[in-house]
Structure 1
Amino acid sequence: MMSRTLLCLALSAATSPLLADTVWLKNGDRLSGTIKFFEGKKLLLETEYGGSIALDWKKIATLQSDQELLIKEGKITGERAKSLLAAEEGKVTLVNGEEPRTIELASVRQIMKPKPLVEDLTWKGNLDVALDYKRAETDTDDYEVDMKTQARHGLWRHNAEVGYDREYQDGVVATDNWATEYALDRFFDEHWFWQGRLEYKRDQIEDLARQRTVGTGPGYQFWDNELGAFSVVGLLNRTDYEYANGENDNFYSASAKWDYNRYLIGKSMEVFSTGEVGKPLANVADYTLDTALGLRYKVNSWASLNMKAEKELVSGSEGDMDETRYSLGFGVGW
């Protein structure tokens, strides 16, 4: 009975123009909107009446779309469908200019808009700027710029970060440093991957002028879709220090990193957290912690306001360091 109902719906849709994609649920409900993305367990449907709605893939009977979509049934290769047609429960028909092909919904691993060069490329990122002016016994002007971007295609994911911080106290430069990091992930399946990381820090003021870190280790991706992402990585690192007086030092360490973000309220709000906790394999320090927690509010499709708290903690035999910073700024996202 359900199959006949779906077939009638599909035939009626084919004879009348559609202004939106359509998703039929197994309980008989029908939702209209724009299919944005599917990966793992959730299909993201953008609607005019409810914003972004995440639908459980197992609850979907079939779907229909007039937009061109990339349908991936395997880890790497995919089929570029010019449109999707509703089929019997648990299936969907791909139309790509040749003979339509009906597939099982259970076989679909990913649905996305194809890119012009690398079809399965996904690229996202944020550029945030924070300004802090304090007028008191000591006047302080603080400028901070952070960029984070990520690109993925097939089994590979590229991660890059750049940050710059400059602070004036009574017109004198008190802080002037920048840092950059690049990490390459190679996935073995939907969750497990191996990461290689390069990190460089440069400070124009402090005695520790340069830091270089090379690390590698396994990682686990809990989820990564239009509603957010969460991954953890365990790394074995080698770090080289270069001091302003020309002296050098190096040591090995083990560390754990995390990267989390989650969109809320129709993707208008984003909670994010990144961090790394490490343990040197020598007597350099007992442990280190570098973490950030923030909230980003989207003003429109590309602009946002953000609040962030950052904490850097070092516990060691030569003394402890405990610094916490709070910032409010604006940014752009893509």
Structure 2
Amino acid sequence: MLSRTLLCVAIASASTPLLADTVWLKNGDKMTGTIKVFDGGKLLLNTKYAGDVPLDWKEIKTLESDQHLLVKQDATTGEISKSLQPAEDGKVTLANGDAPKTVELASIQQIMKPKPVVTDLVWKGNIDAALDFQRAENDTDDYNIAFKTSATHGQWRHNAKGEYNRESQDSLTTTNNWDAEYSVDRFLTEKWFWDGRITYKRDTIEDLARQRTVGTGPGYQFWDDELGAFKVGALLNRTDFEYSNGEKDNFYSVSGTWDYNRYLIGKKVEFFTNGEVGKPISGVADYSLETEVGLRYKVTEWASLNLKAEKDIISGSDNGDLDKTRYTAGFGVAW
């Protein structure tokens, strides 16, 4: 009797379709899958037949989901809906027990799965590593490890990045440096933000041994969604240089920054570039440039292969210029 009951349950379970979220489009199409996030004008729907599919929010008629989702209609507040129910064109009903509420799709700024503590926290980042060991007439060891991460909550965005480089040949170290940076952005509007940052760099080989920079200034976020992001900024900086011979310089400078990434080929490939170009207000140097550009190829949901080129320039310094180019290939993880 028990085995017969279990068999009936198994047959019923197999014949019952799995619950899925549904999106109705204005052109009459209907798509099913799992809603992952809505941000930056794009709804990301995960489907079995096409993976992650970004949908233009303006082309959506209504939608349905049985997930618990955080729905935000402004930058600071939101409510956790037990489910989303379809409504008339251009609207959706937030089902919260006895008090369902129908809202305009145009009024929604974000939809995401709620986090247990900070419900609207969006955390993303990556770690890349490149290692090269050669044992021949000349033995070489090369290491490069870099990380970059950001966490957004309400009108605040915290950013951090760092990198370590070391190269040696026949036990002689030719490159040994590391750097770290922390910045915080306070959004003033949906696009404009104010940036404050601090950077420290250490090099045990080059003439310029230490760099410390504190900067602040406005920035503009062109977009930030599941297909990529692009922001620029302008900074007023205070920089301290310390050279290997003990001499020191400190000066103020102005600089421009950029940070761009774009996912291609169904989010399998990511192109990215970021950097900063600066001009000292005094005559301590002509200009400085720090930039990187590269590609990542996603092997799994979290693992990737990467190619990267980096360029560091300080030109016109009385205590020695810096001009370094580095190419790396390696692996990484992303979240």
TM-score normalised according to structure 2 size: 0.91
Partner of 1:29: 29
Distance in structure 2 (CA, Å) of the matches to 1:206 and 1:252: 22
Partner of 2:232: 232
Partner of 1:300: 300
Q: Write out per-residue CA displacement over residues 161-180 of structure 1, whole angstroms, 9 at most, x where no aligned residue.
A: 11111111211122211110
Partner of 2:329: 328
Contact kept? 2:146, 2:164, Cα under 8 Å: yes
Partner of 1:172: 172
Counterpart of 1:325, as a letter, is R
Equivalent residues in 2 for 1:119-130 (5 A)? 119-130=119-130
Q: How many residues align?
A: 319
Residue 268 (structure 1) aligned with residue 268 (structure 2): yes
Equivalent residues in 2 for 1:146-295 (5 A)? 146-295=146-295
Partner of 2:41: 41
Equivalent residues in 2 for 1:69-148 (5 A)? 69-134=69-134, 138-148=138-148
Counterpart of 2:211, as a letter, is Q
Contact kept? 2:20, 2:32, Cα under 8 Å: yes
Counterpart of 2:97, as a letter, is G
Counterpart of 1:31, as a letter, is M
Q: Write out per-residue CA displacement over residues 42-64 of structure 1, whole angstroms, 9 at most, x where no aligned residue.
A: 11111111222111111110000
Runs of 5+ unmatched residues, structure 2: 1-15
| 1:321 shift after superposition | 4.3
Q: 1:81 to 1:258 in 2, by over 3 A?
A: same
Partner of 1:20: 20
Distance in structure 1 (CA, Å) of the matches to 2:159 and 2:53: 27
SS in 2 for 1:58: helix
Q: Write out per-residue CA displacement over residues 177-205 of structure 1, whole angstroms, 9 at most, x where no aligned residue.
A: 11100000000111000000100111223
SS in 1 for 2:58: helix
Partner of 2:66: 66
| 1:320 shift after superposition | 5.3
Counterpart of 2:293, as a letter, is L
Distance in structure 2 (CA, Å) of the matches to 1:133 and 1:285: 37
Partner of 2:10: none
TM-score normalised according to structure 1 size: 0.91
Q: 1:301 to 1:317 in 2, by over 3 A?
A: closer
What is the percentage of aligned positions where both structures have the same residue?
Answer: 67
Contact kept? 2:41, 2:225, Cα under 8 Å: no
Range with greater deviation from structure 2 (241-250 or 36-45): 241-250
Distance in structure 2 (CA, Å) of the matches to 1:147 and 1:41: 28
Contact kept? 1:37, 1:225, Cα under 8 Å: no
Counterpart of 1:328, as a letter, is A
Q: 1:313 to 1:242 in 2, by over 3 A?
A: closer
